Structures are given as C-alpha cells and as structure tokens.
A and B are shown apart, each in its own frame.
Chain A
Amino acid sequence: MSAAQTRQGTVSLSGAELRRGPRTLWSGLDLDIHPGEFVAVLGPNGSGKTTLLQVLLGLLPLSAGEVRVHGEEPARGSSAVGYIPQQRALDPLTPLRGRDLVGLGLDGHRWGPGLRGRAARRRQVHAALAQVDALDYADAPVGSLSGGEQQRLRVAQALVGDPSLLLADEPLLSLDLARQREVVDLVDRRRRTHDTAVVFVTHELNPVLPVVDRILYLVDGRFRIGTPDEVMTSENLTELYRTDVEVVRVRGRILVVGAEDAPVHHHEEPAAGRQEVGAR
C-alpha cells in the first residue's frame, strides 16, 4: 500500500519512527507525497498526528528512519513550507491587523530590521490576502474578527511565502460547517492552481472527503495509508482500533461507529506536543 514511489515526492518518509519517552507514536512509516496531492491525516488524540507535522516542519527529529522535504532534511522556517495552525481565537486585544499577521508569516522569523523590499513585501501580503478574499478586513484588528475570518487570515499567512508544501493542523476545529467548507475550498484551490502538496491533520474526514487523495490513518502506533475507499473500511478500522468498528457510508458521508470505545492510550500527548510548538 505504501510502496516506495519512483517519482520524487514533495515529502518522502521511509522507515520513519518517532518515540516520545517510552512510547512509540509510530514506526515503519513509508509515505511519499507528490506535488498537488492532498493527504488527510486522521486518528484519535495522542496518535502522533501533530508530531508528524512537527517533524515535517523541522522542529522534531525522527527517532529512526528518514524524512525528506523537497529532497532535503526539513529546515526550520523554510518558506517552501506553509503551516496553518488550529483555529484558536486570538486575544481580542492582540495589537495586530490582518495584514500584519500575514506579514509575520512571510518574514516574522527573519532577523535584521527588514527595511529593504518593503514594497515587494506589501505586494506579497496583498496577494495572499486576495487569494483568501480577506482584503475587506485586512486592516481590522485581528482580535475583532470572527473565527472564520481569522482562519482565512491563517491560510493567507501560510500561503504568503508561496509554499510548495502546506501543512494544516486541525484548521477546521470549532468552525461551523459553512466556514469549514470555505477553508477546505481555499486549500483545495491552492493545491490545484499551484501544485502545492497538502498534509491536512483533521478529526473530521467528511469536510475534506470530496478533495482528499489519500488518507494516513494513525491509531496507537498502527496505521493505514491509501485512498479513502481503501482505508475507510470496517475491517481496516477494526484492526487499527482493535475493537469492533463499523464504517458506514451515508449520502456521500463516511460515519465511523464504535471507535470511541477503543482502548486508545491518551497520555495527554497532544496537549504536551502542542506546548512544544507554542510556548503560551
């Protein structure tokens, strides 16, 4: 299912293993992601979904195996990789406007006064805002915007560096259905027009189901990789969760029943992992 690809992928993991303390989150992970491919990463809390993104961002080394992004070791702050964080409301008094938030995504990690190239920077920020239709509120304080608007700005912030790999960590969380669809559409449009590969961590498959090429389903160190039809079967998920799980297809949606009873080890892993990313 995860046979090594001959064509050079945007992301290439081979024999990848990640341990956190005594616990192995996943091991033997082989995955090649091609330009323009949309890969959804599913699984319960603590299965190492966010950790996978941290590896691709160059924030965490693998415990074993190899990871390549554009043929090289993942580098921190690479503009070839865009990142959309979880939708979390920004503080109402955050002293930033929409365009400042997007601008930080472009050069917030750079040192020096950054006085040169202001005009080019302004154009890039403007283009990113236009790509997500956020120009109307680009000058409003970010804290005054709705969750959907803030998440659009997050997409612009991830796209402003013109990445060829886009990583998204549960970007749909706490958005309503219409806003979820908007964010998915933006990401889908981007990968179709720019051949940007997408790794999309999500709890909910259905909002992204129409656009997903492949799924990486992680449960407690076990995983499956393949198209939604290949992965999302009762048999597969029963094996992954080690309990009776039924996958039902209703009106183009996929419902998973029984996974919540699975004896998955939580360990509060995702919270700890997130602390690593954000110091707040």
Chain B
Amino acid sequence: MSTTLELLDVGFVRQALLAGAVLALLAGLLGPLVVGRGMAFAVHGTAELSFAGGAGALLLFGAGAVGWGALVGAVLVALVFGALGLAAHERDSVIGVLLSFGLGLGVLFQSLYTGRSANKFGLLVGQIVGVDTGDLVSLAVTGVVVVGVLGVAYRPLLFASLDPTMAAARGVPVRALSIAFAVLLGATTALGVQIVGALLVLSLLITPAAAAARVTASPLVATVLAVVFAEVAVLGGIVLSLAPGLPISPFVAGIAFVTYLICRVVGSLRTRRRASRTRVPASSTATSTSSQSTLASQSPRPRS
C-alpha cells in the first residue's frame, strides 16, 4: 500500500494516470456507438493493424515513431472497415482477413527489431509507464478532435448507428458518417494500443459500453456509465499494477470484466421483474395469434 502511495508521486505515474483518464473518456464516449453498431470485431481488427503499424514504425524509425505508426495503421484499416458499412457478413470476413495479416506483419517487424525488448511487448500488452510528454500531446490532440467531432455529429451518428433505415430516410449521410466514425475509432484505438496494448483495447472500448447496455436503454445514461466504468477500469488498473510491478492490462481487463458481470446480473434481475409485471394480459396474445392465421388465409395478397 505504502509503495503504491509513493509511486503515485512519481512523475511518469502521474502522466500515466492522465493518459489513462483521457483514453478512458474517449473509449467511454465511443463505446456505446461501437456496441450499437456491432463493431466489436472491427475494434479488434483495428487494434491488430495498429499494432502492426506501431511495430513497423519502431523497426524503421525507432521508439519515437511508434505512436505515429500505430495511428497510421489504425486509421487506414478503420477507413476500410468504415467503407464496408454495416453489412455484417461481408465486414466480418474482411476484418478476419486483415486482422490476421496485421498480426503476422506485426510479429515479423518485432522479430526483426533488435532494440529494447520492453518496446516490443508494450504494443501487445501495454506500457503505460512509458508514456512521455510527446504521447500526452498527441493524446490531448486526439481527445479534443474526437470530442469535437462527437459534439457536432453525435445525434446523426447515434441515429445512423441504431436506426440506419430511418436515418437514411431522413437524409442522414449514413455512409459518410460510417467512415468518419471509423476514423475516430481508429485514432482512439491507436492510443489504446500504446497504453493498454493491442490485445486488451477491447476491454476499454467494448466492455464498459456492453456493461452499461445491460442496465440502461437510455443512450445518454449508457454513455455516462460507459465513461465511468472505463475510468474506473483504467485508473484502478494503473493503481493496482504499481506495487506488484505487473503490466496494467490484466488489472484493467479484470476490473472491466467484473463490472460487466455485475451489470449483467443487475440487468437480468430487472428484466425478470419487468416481465413478471407485464405478463398479465395473456388472453390478448392468444387472440392475436389466432387472428394472424385468419389473416393469412384471407389475404388478398397475390402469393406465389
């Protein structure tokens, strides 16, 4: 405990906490949209290509370029995923193809790299203690951009994500928003890769939002909860990892997972209560099914 307190005074730990807080904010804001759009797998794919980009940059230009490499890799692939739109079947297979390719590429770059090994594994499992001032600047810039775009486009984005048919009918540029969202997601993922690592980006972008979706159907409340859950996971994960000197990702993922479990239990209890409350008029459902069959037999619709 005392070690943890001492470590909290150290400069790089403070920087790590700050970076984590910004990352968690972005992940919490984007998470409900990611979940609503069914893009969990796309996040995973983006993370692996971000890893490849970071590893490539490390090999070619050294540790200072990792952030940029990760960003370029993530945004490029996110653009591809965004252009695929919401057609789930096609998207899933394309993601699978690119994901495995990216992972292979990343591993190749890493094995060719002869520098410090901590630099290598950081991209996979996270190395938040390696956050420097340059990283903080890029984090802040990304944060401002993501929050700014969300401020302008949040309503159309929510509409296009959850109710695409209606959104398109109302003139919302569904496809353009899909690409814009993918870029935001790519940028956030790239930051996540540098902090919690490619393997665990999902625990920040998906788990808090998935947990929130279990306990509320209000988009606003879901977003607030997702931000809170993500902050607790990241900040809690960093603090807990200090004393044992372990990577932060298992702690972040662990906290996020426990949050999810709790929310699932709470959510299912609530659904059961609601179901038992509304299960009274059983007779009306019976009549409606019988009228359905009458309808089918009397229908004037030309059936073939």
Q: Which of A100, A144, A157, A178 contacts B287 (CB 8 A)?
A: A178
Cβ–Cβ < 8 Å partners of B154 in chain A: 113
B159: CB under 8 A from chain A? Answer: yes
A176 near B288 with CB under 8 A, answer yes
Cβ–Cβ < 8 Å partners of B155 in chain A: 104, 107-112, 114
A176 near B291 with CB under 8 A, answer yes
Question: Number of A-B pairs whose CB atoms are under 8 Å?
Answer: 151
Of the listed stretches B53-61, B133-141, B193-201, B213-221, name the one at the interface; the rest are far from the partner chain. B213-221
| CA distance in complex: A105, B151 (Å) | 19
Q: Could you say which interface size class chain A belongs to?
A: 35 or more
**Which residue among A97, A101, A108, A256 has the maximum number of chain B CB atoms within 10 Å of its CB?**
A108
A108 near B169 with CB under 8 A, answer no
0/1 per residue, B11-45, Cβ < 8 Å to A?
A: 00000000000000000000010011000000000
Say what secondary structure dominates the interface of chain B.
Answer: helix
B87 near A280 with CB under 8 A, answer yes
A157 near B300 with CB under 8 A, answer no
B86 near A280 with CB under 8 A, answer yes
| CA distance in complex: A199, B23 (Å) | 48
Q: Which of A85, A88, A93, A180 contacts B169 (CB 8 A)?
A: A85
- The answer to whether residues A204 and B289 also contact, given A104-B166, A112-B152, A157-B166 and a CB cut-off of 8 A, is no
**Residue of A with least CB distance to B218:** A97
A59 near B168 with CB under 8 A, answer yes
Cβ–Cβ < 8 Å partners of B218 in chain A: 95, 97, 100
A100 to chain B, nearest CB (A): 6
B139 to chain A, nearest CB (A): 23
Beta-carbon contacts under 8 Å, B172-198 to A: 172, 174-175, 178
What are the 7 tightest A-B residue pairs by CB atom distance, in nearest-first order? A76-B171, A278-B165, A108-B159, A77-B171, A141-B217, A259-B302, A260-B302
Chain A contacts to B: CB under 8 angstroms: 44, 57-59, 75-78, 83, 85, 88, 90, 93-97, 100-101, 104-105, 107-114, 140-144, 148, 157, 176-180, 203-206, 253-256, 259-260, 262, 274, 276-280
Chain B contacts to A: CB under 8 angstroms: 32, 35-36, 85-88, 151-156, 158-160, 162-172, 174-175, 178, 213, 216-219, 222, 271, 274, 287-289, 291-292, 294-295, 298-304
